[in-house]
Amino acid sequence: MSLKPASREVAIVAAGVISPLGRGLAETHAALRAGRDCVSPITRFDVSKCRSSTAGQIPNEWLDAFATTRRRKRLHRASKMMIAAMDELVQQDRDFAPELMVIGTTSGGMTFGEAFYRSLLHSDNKRKRAAWLANYNPQKPVLDAMEAAGFSAPAQIIANACASGTNAIGHAFSLVASGKYERVLCGGYDAISELVFVGFDSLQAATQEKIRPFDKARTGLVLGEGAALIALEAFDEAVSRGANILAKVTGYGISTDNYHLTQPHPSGIGPRQAMERALASAGRKASDVDYINAHGTATQFNDATEGAAIEQLFSERRTPVSSTKSMMGHALGAAGAIEAVISLLALQRQFLPPNINFNECDPAWELDVVANESCDAEMRCVISNSFGFGGTNATIVLEK
């Protein structure tokens, strides 16, 4: 699959984020610089029968600050996350009027879905079932965020496992680059729910210890949550209206290896193809890349295949790589969007985010892991990876 460079330049003119790392760009940057471990014991539901007991969690009080009306207080935490991310983005560029929203997620209001289906087994809470079901839909947090911001636009939901957030940004980039749209608001969200947490625990993909991406002694992932939004606009249009251009999205690549329901192809061909296609789309070579924000879940299979793909593709230059999931966990459908914002911050502030809890690289490959501490670096081009169950792979390229 050969991809040509995009026909139009695409600017990032605003961004908003909330995650265990912090509320907004400034707090997120501070946490990244400090290499802060934001994984903590689960408090939202009972995990006494689970192997793992930790996750990256957003404190309720952070979200309650955006529940300013009686109606908002009843919203699912996913909606409050989206409202928080939207609030920051709108404050950065009040003139940005999206023609379309493209949002990645895997769960929607999953806890409401749990409550609805459990209520079917009992006779109580019948009056609440309609509200639970209405708030379960994945587009509901998107609609709530638009209402809070005071605008309305068509919304597309991408649910493609853990690649969803990056797919959403990549799809939005493609729409603007091709000339189909001038302005698209994109990103992703996911909130931790008991059903998903127990599911990963039962797969034995979640660790009982610290999350250690790319480490020889890695034992699995921890879950996270959050939301991130990025405003994309045709570069010339952004310049003409005097917008503050934060960076550019210049490439997008996808692949599907179809090897196994939950395991990637051991050769690393899926991640490698996604990265190669993203670079081709951007008109860049591997040697042009200054930093790789890896998917890096710290599971045996993901890190083995992604590590192999990075070593193969970036053999000419050992490009610095880190997984910021080590600090906040894996936010599933939101991960790619949050990590795109982290990559944006790395470009803007000229630093390499750390891969914490790292002791010794897996001897299967040689990687230049940004171990435990952030450091200053001159960067013009970075890539961000997201890979998911079913062999779905996505990569985007951001440039200064």
* Number of alpha carbons in the 13 Å side-chain half-sphere of residue 309: 27
Element (H, E) at 286: none
Hey, which residues does 223 pair with through a beta bridge? 55, 330
Residues with a catalytic annotation lie at: 162, 295, 330
Mean of the pLDDT values across residues 122-131?
75
pLDDT tens by residue, 293-315: 999 999 998 999 999 999 999 98
* CA gap 145, 151 in Å, rounded: 9
Question: What DSSP line would sit under 27-74, residue for residue?
Answer: HHHHHHHHT---EEE--SS--TTSS--EEE---HHHHHTT--SHHHHT
Q: What is the mean pLDDT of the chain?
A: 92
pLDDT of res. 115? 78
Q: Where are the beta strands (DSSP E) in the chain?
A: 10-19, 22-23, 39-41, 54-56, 100-104, 155-158, 183-190, 226-234, 247-256, 291-293, 320-322, 351-352, 368-369, 375-376, 381-388, 392-399
Quick count: other Cβ atoms within 10 Å of Cβ 190?
Answer: 32
pLDDT of res. 6? 55
Alpha helices in 138-203, H assignment, sequence order: 140-149, 164-177, 194-202
Mean of the pLDDT values across residues 191-207?
91
Topology, domain 10-399 = Peroxisomal Thiolase; Chain A, domain 1 (3.40.47)
pTM of the full structure:
0.94
Q: Both tokens of residue 115?
A: 């409550």
pLDDT tens by residue, 203-229: 899 999 999 999 999 999 999 999 999
Q: Where are the domains of the chain?
A: 10-399
Hey, which residues does 249 pair with through a beta bridge? 10, 398
Q: Closest Cα to residue 38, out of 369, 350, 357?
A: 357
Residue carrying the six token digits 């983005």: 89
Burial class (CB in 10 A: 0-12, 13-18, 19+), 129: middle
